[in-house]
Amino acid sequence: MREVSEKCRRVLEGDLFDIDWVADLYYNGTPRAQNLPIVGPKFAWDGAAQIQGTGSVTIQWDDVFGQSIVPQEIGDLFSPFGAELQVDVIVSAGKFAERIPMGRFVLDSVPDAVEYAVEHPHGGVPVVVESTVTLSLVDYFVRIARDTFPFPASPRSTSMWDEAQRLTGLAVFRSIPDRVLPTNLTYEEDRLDALGRVFAPSNARPALTPAGALTAMPKDWPAPVDRLELVLDAPLEMRSENVYNRVVVEGKNPVPDGPPLIAVAEVTDGFLRTRNADGTRSPFGGNTYRYASEFLTTQAMCQQTANEMLPRVSRIRAVTRRVVEQFNPLREVGDVLTLVDPFRQGQESTVRVSSVSHSGAETQLEVEVGQ
């Protein structure tokens, strides 16, 4: 959850506040334009996607000197070749105002740009009086994904966090303890996949802070950080695709010609069993979760990992809800919340945010319901 002052939290718990989206434009770490007003902002974060944060904004520019912000060539102010946008929202109520960082984005494309010009009173070239650009934004993971390795590589550091910083070039926020990387860890072509491999043994996945620093999100559920009470809508959905009843774990044998290291763990009873007592396929059937790690160097380690993972991936997190609440800029993917359901007489349940989107005066969350 984004950190703000206690007063800001109290303001957001009411319904008498205003919101204004603004942005600062950067190139190579240097600000090129600040406090740009944003029109029609739409932002979303999806924890299941490789590129987790996406957005679209329109910026209108009035200039008495006849300057336009419509990009014409590489290097122009809003050309999508290295420019970044730090997007914030200002929450205000009366004399109170607080600026909340929402995300650091890469300017990926300019799908629409328009200039409005008038004739110069003394003739000559028309003068641009207003220009508008619509920007398509993605988070920094897009640069990591595009910057593939030219050939197979391996870590240059034994520290998980130092190696993550080297792979991305980003500042890091160490949200989980460091870990020693194995000497046999190797990377293929995909740099973002390599980053995932670095964090995987800690049961975490890479994430970005609102200021654009690299961090890690634990897959295990932490304690709730807030209550979700101002709910406008919360329809329930149930899916089976993300519930697994079999885990297959593959390690890496340090002996060059040694046998493959593969371990299997299965649910053997209940509704999620893989097979019936007579050996026939169960009504649910099998749904396999696969995991591989160079950290696992013996058969016993693989089997222990499979046994430990099975209870986690077979927990029924198939129940999801799309919760609509009044605009709340504090929500982040991975937040664990206590949902107070107004449609079930205030019944409380623990949920975890898997996606967030903001549009207009509403925030929409997709949450997994804990069992």
Report the percentage of the chain scoring pLDDT > 90: 63
Say if residue 263's pLDDT is above 60: yes
Residue 42 pLDDT: 94
DSSP 68: -
Residue with tokens 């328009």: 114
Whole-angstrom distance, CA of residue 144 vs CA of residue 151: 16
Count of all residues that appear for the chain in the document? 371
Cβ-contact 326, 361 below 8 angstroms: yes
Q: pLDDT at position 311, please?
A: 87
Residue 238 pLDDT level (bands cut at 50, 70, 90) = confident
Residue 64's contacts (CB-CB under 8 Å, 6 or more residues apart) are: none
Q: What pLDDT score does 219 carry?
A: 87
Which residue would you say has higher pLDDT here, 347 or 318? 347
Statement: residue 304 has pLDDT above 70: yes
Percent of the chain with pLDDT over 70: 94
Average pLDDT over residues 317-344: 88
Beta bridge partners of 336: 352
Weakest mean pLDDT among 59-63, 91-95, 117-121, 325-329? 117-121
Look at residue 272 and give its three-state secondary structure.
coil
CATH domain 145-218 topology = Phage tail protein beta-alpha-beta fold (3.55.50)
State the Cα–Cα distance between residues 111 and 82, nearest whole angstrom.
Answer: 16
> C-alpha distances in angstroms, 159 versus 10, 113, 180, 185, 353?
41, 45, 5, 12, 30
Domain with CATH 3.55.50.10 in the chain: 145-218
Going by C-alpha positions, the residue among 165, 175, 255, 260 that lies closest to residue 218 is 175
> Looking at the predicted structure, is the pLDDT value of residue 316 above 60?
no
Query: How far is the C-alpha of 42 from the C-alpha of 30, rounded, in Å?
Result: 25
Flag whether pLDDT at 102 surpasses 70. Answer: yes
Say whether pLDDT at 117 is over 80. Answer: no
Mean predicted confidence (pLDDT) in 285-314: 90
Mean pLDDT of 179-185: 83
The pLDDT of 276-305, averaged and rounded, is: 91
| Encoded tokens for 149 | 């390795």
Instruction: Return the DSSP state at 277.
Output: T
16-53 tens-digit pLDDT: 899 999 999 999 999 999 999 999 999 999 998 989 99
pLDDT at res. 139 = 96
Residue 341, pLDDT above cutoff 90: no
- Please tell me the least confidently modeled range out of 151-160, 202-211, 232-241, 244-253: 232-241
Tell me what the mean pLDDT of segment 236-246 comes to: 82
Rounded mean pLDDT, 101-122: 82
Tokens 């995909």 correspond to 190
Topology of the domain comprising 226-238+318-369: Phage tail proteins - horseshoe like beta roll fold (2.30.300)
Q: What per-residue confidence (pLDDT) applies to 318?
A: 60
175-190: b (≥16 Cβ within 10 Å) or e: eeeebebbeebebeeb
Where are the alpha helices (H) located in 130-207, listed in sequence order? 141-146, 160-168, 191-199
Average pLDDT score over residue span 193-218: 93
Q: What is the DSSP letter of 201?
A: G
> Does pLDDT of 368 surpass 90?
no
Here the tokens at position 27 are 């190139």
Mean per-residue pLDDT of the chain:
89
Q: Are 238 and 332 in contact (CB under 8 A)?
A: no
Pairwise CA distance, residues 35 & 20, whole Å? 11
pLDDT of 200 strictly over 90: no
Considering the chain, tell me which residue range(s) the CATH 2.30.300.10 domain(s) occupy.
226-238+318-369
Mean pLDDT score, 250-279: 92
Across 202-229, average pLDDT: 92
Residue 88, SS3?
A: strand
Overall average pLDDT of the 330-349 stretch: 90
Question: Residue for token digits 């629409």?
Answer: 112
